[in-house]
Amino acid sequence: MADEIAIQITQVTKFYGSGTDSTRALHDISVAIRHNEFFTLLGPSGCGKTTLLRIIGGFEDFQNGEIILHGNSIKALPANKRPVNTVFQHYALFPHMSIRDNIGFGLKMLGKNAAEIRERTDEMLDLVKLTEYGHRRPAQLSGGQQQRVALARALAPAPRVVLLDEPLSALDLKLRQSMRHELRRIRESLGMTFIFVTHDQEEALTMSDRIAVMSEGELQQVGSPEDIYNNPANIFVADFIGQTNLIPGIVKATTADAAQCQLAGGQSIEVPLARQPTPNRGDTVKLSIRPEHMDICQPDSDSAQITGVLKEQVFLGTDMQFLIEIDDSILLMVRLQSTQDSLHRWNPGDQVGIRVNIGFVRLLTS
C-alpha cells in the first residue's frame, strides 16, 4: 500500500493564449505522486508550479496529457466533482459565514446530514486548535488562525489529496516555522496525500517526503530533500537549492571512479564519480561545491587541494563565511561553524589552502 500511486501525471503540457502569442506554461510534465506522501512543487515564481497545482484542482484546463487519481482519469471532471481539496494562498474563506460554516461547507455540499457535519466540524476545530472560535467570522481571526481554518476546511471532507498553494507565504517568520510542524503533524495523523506548492526552499526541505524542482514550466528533478540537496541533477537545481559555488572547469582525464578536472585559473582537482554519471574527457563542466563542504588549512599542507587568497570573512552567527579568491574572477565561498578554534587564525590577504570534501562535489554539464 505504501507505494500506491495517488496521482499519476503524464506528459501534461499547457499553453496560455493561442497561435504565435501563446506562452508555454507547462512542458511535458510527468510525475507520480505516492499515496500518503508529502510532495512539494518547488521553484521560483513563474516556473509553473501553481499552474500544475491548479490543473490538478480543476481550475485550469490543459492541452495535452493525462491525470489519473487513484486509477481514474480526472481530466474531464470539473473542480466541484474532484475528490481533491485546496488550501488557497490567501485562504479564500467565505467572509459572510462563521468559521464552523466555512469548515462544514464541503460536507454540506456532499449532502452529509447535520449531525455528521457537526461532529466532523468539531473534530476539525480540535485538530487545528480553534475549538473556541467556531462562531466567529473569518475577519475576526488573525492571519495564522485563518490559515488553520482554511486547512480545516480543506481537510473536513476527507479528500484523497489535499492541494496547498503557498499556504504559509502570508504569515510572519515565527508563525511560518510553527505552522510547518503543525502541517506535518496533521498530515501524519490523518494519512492523506499532500501536494504543497512553495518557492521557499527551506520550507520544502524541512517538510517534504519528496520534492519536485521546477523551472520555466519543466520538471528539473524529483527526489527526497537529501537527494535534491546532495545530488542536484543540473546547474539550476544546484544553484536554486541552498548555496553553492559553481566553478567552471574542464574534464582532463577520467578513470573508472574519478575524474581529473582543471579549474578555471589552472588548479586541478580529482572528483570521485561514485554518485554521479561519468563525464567525457574534454567536457566543460561546472563544479558544484557547497560552502559547508570545504575547510580552510595552511596553503602548503598536504590536505590543501586548492589554494587562494582570503578576501573577506563575515560573521553569520552560527557560521563564519569566508570568501577566497582562487583566480582573478573566481571567488569561493566557504562556511565554517563559529565554534571552531581555527576561525581567527586567518586574516584577509593571507594565502590559504582549501580542503574539499570531494565526495560531495558534483560535475554538472547543464
Partner 1 sequence: MTGTSTGVFSGLRNWLLLPSWLVIGVLVLSPVFIMLVYSFLTKEFRGGVIWDFTLAAYDQFFLDRGLFGDEPPKMEWTYINIFWRSIWQALLATLLCLLIGFPTAYFIATRPPSARTVWLFMVTVPYWVNLLIRTVSMKFLIRDNGPVNEWLLATGMISEPIHLINTPIAVQLGLFYSYLPFMVLPVYAAMERYSFSLSEAAADLYASKWFTLWHIVIPSVRPGIIAGCILVFIPSMGAFLAPDLLGGARNFMIGSLIEEQFKGTAGNWPFGAAASMILLSAVLLVLLYYTHYQSKTGIAKN
Interacting residue ranges for partner 1, rule: CB under 8 A: 57-59, 78-81, 84-86, 88, 90, 92-96, 105-106, 109-110, 137, 139, 153-154, 157
Q: Smallest distance from the beta carbon of 178 to partner 1, in angstroms?
A: 24
Q: Smallest distance from the beta carbon of 120 to partner 1, in angstroms?
A: 13
Strand pairing of 5-16 and 23-34? antiparallel
Report the candidate in 193, 192, 220, 219 with the shortest Cα–Cα distance to residue 29: 219
Report the candidate in 150, 163, 155, 157 with the shortest Cα–Cα distance to residue 9: 163
Q: Smallest distance from the beta carbon of 9 to partner 1, in angstroms?
A: 19
Q: Smallest distance from the beta carbon of 146 to partner 1, in angstroms?
A: 13
Judged by CB, which is closer to partner 1: 8, or 98?
A: 98
Judged by CB, which is closer to partner 1: 74, or 361?
A: 74
Q: Smallest distance from the beta carbon of 231 to partner 1, in angstroms?
A: 36
Q: Smallest distance from the beta carbon of 117 to partner 1, in angstroms?
A: 12
Judged by CB, which is closer to partner 1: 58, or 249?
A: 58
What whole-number distance in Å separates Cα of residue 80 and Cα of residue 312? 57
Q: Burial of 99 by CB count in 10 Å (0-12 exposed, 13-18 middle, 19+ buried)?
A: buried
E-only strand ranges, the chain = 5-16, 23-34, 38-42, 64-69, 72-73, 84-87, 161-165, 193-198, 210-215, 218-223, 245-254, 258-263, 268-272, 284-289, 294-297, 306-315, 319-327, 330-337, 351-356, 362-364
Judged by CB, which is closer to partner 1: 48, or 157?
A: 157
Report the candidate in 56, 59, 88 with the shortest Cα–Cα distance to residue 73: 56
Judged by CB, which is closer to partner 1: 82, or 187?
A: 82
Q: Is the dihedral of CA 144, 147, 151, 153 positive or negative?
A: positive
Q: Smallest distance from the beta carbon of 59 to partner 1, in angstroms?
A: 6
Judged by CB, which is closer to partner 1: 160, or 355?
A: 160
Judged by CB, which is closer to partner 1: 80, or 329?
A: 80
Which cell numbers in the block locate residue 354? 582549501
